[in-house]
Structure 1
Amino acid sequence: MSLTETSGIARRYFALNAFDGALIGLGAIFGFYISGMYDYRVVLLTIMAIAVGSAISGFSGAFISEKLEQEARVKRLEEAILTNLKDSIHYQASLTSSIIVSIINGVSSLISIFSVSAPYVICIYLSLSEVVGILSSITAFFAVLTILGYFFGRELKIRTISVVSRILLVGIVAIVIYFLIELVFRL
């Protein structure tokens, strides 16, 4: 796999898993808010566990799928040229590519989860209002989605305002669902 192909795949994985991480982070924050859990230590440790779990999932899922894809690609190349490539630069490049893409996939969700949840965690730590915390996390959530929408639009060479609008719409729908859950459980 060429460097260009690897970087394109890595950018897409980063954006997709960062999007997942933002939604996971906000979902966790709403869960704390709805449940009335405002203990700083519990909130922080739970967010850390969620972020690490998501990073491990992102890394391992991408590594398994990319490594299998690369192995199949190398095997097709071996069959075409009738040569074993196990010790070749092609094989090493495919393995390196799988590792790079996997690390990016895992780290992107971790960054998004922390970016979205940090304002809430800080507000809890400083004993500020939980409402200020949730509104701060919602603001961070929309900032992350806007950046990702811009990134997607630029990457795909589509009007960025169109992509940002669609991604923000998904974010709004998610927040409406979270508030509906709150209404149901607060009754």
Structure 2
Amino acid sequence: MVALTVNNQPVDYLMDPDTPLLWALRDASNLTGAKYGCGDGSCGACTVDVDGAAVRACTMSLAEAEGRFVTTIEALSRDRSHPVQQAWVSNQVPQCGFCQPGMIMAAAILLRRTARPTDTEIDAAITNLCRCGTYPRVRDAIRRAGAVQSGAETIAAAPPPRIDPADAAAAVPALTPPEARQP
């Protein structure tokens, strides 16, 4: 059994200690925000906060995580009120979104250490790969999140995590079936 704290909750994993932390989080704890991308720590899709450091969860074993504090994207803020999440939405950073949880975690950790990072500091801290190439928007969002954290700027709240199906349906115009269309 491997004991650690995940999202401020003590957890005992009854898994092989050599199991990557990523699989314990995703499979045993159902915390699916951290994504499997490469399996060797190159892409950063699985980035989580371990004792205040950005860690690639695919390369850390449960044994290495024992006794440590792990925070995943799910615990950053449940209502998307964290400044990084606010800036990400406001600056329209995501495209496909696959890499975004790892980038958001790396950005939040960077901003905890450096309130107003330079582009060089951002580039050094955000080594995550994004196939959509959103890097310029990522930099802008990190700078904006730093301004929000310092109180120099505010961002209106991001939309809630869930949309009522009735609201979603109302936003989509009704489709006219082909047989009812005018020639």
Q: TM-score range by the shorter chain?
A: under 0.3
More strand by share: 2
Q: TM-score, normalised by structure 1?
A: 0.25
More helix by share: 1
Where relative contact order (Cα < 8 A, 6+ residues apart) is larger, the structure is 1
Q: TM-score, normalised by structure 2?
A: 0.26
